[in-house]
Structure 1
């Protein structure tokens, strides 16, 4: 999938994650801020990268601000942001 536009999904509420994606020409540029970074940064990054792989995204800038979201919420927010940015209808 090609990222065509900047797009966002999620909120900054407790137990949610705010995801912003935008075009990038130099691979995957992932930035994660999380209130549980020390405990779960690897799991969060893996969930995000799994979704990126599912959508065949190779070039993207993705910023995540996590407020303790569970994995299914992380995956859903990333998927929604990708669909919005790539012009894909769900």
Structure 2
């Protein structure tokens, strides 16, 4: 899935997170995580983000994630929403939703 524009999903409320996705010409995925629980859970948050991007076929993007204690299912949903908005929904018909 190709990232065509900058998009956002989520909020800065407790137990949620704000995800910003933007195009990145480096041919890789860059993830910056800002979290109140970064020391304990940064690795777990990064794993959820990267596996979601892999399942959606995103190979090149820049993400900034501002976490306020979100659960894995919330992280996954916010990343999916931001990616679909950033791709303008053009590739969504190619997704295998059962795999995600």
TM-score when normalising by structure 2: 0.87
TM-score when normalising by structure 1: 0.97
Shift of 1:29: 1.0
* CA offsets 1:19-56 (integer angstroms, 9 cap, x no match): 00000011111100000001100100000001100111
Give the Cα separation in 1 of the matches to 2:30 and 2:39. Answer: 20
2:61 counterpart residue number:
60
- After superposition, residues 13-24 of structure 1 pair within 5 angstroms as 13-24=13-24
Q: How many residues align?
A: 90
Larger radius of gyration: 2
- Structure 2 unaligned runs (5+)? 94-100
- Structure 1 unaligned runs (5+)? none
Backbone CA RMSD of aligned residues: 1.1
Structure 1 residue ranges, 4+ long, deviating more than 4 angstroms after superposition? none
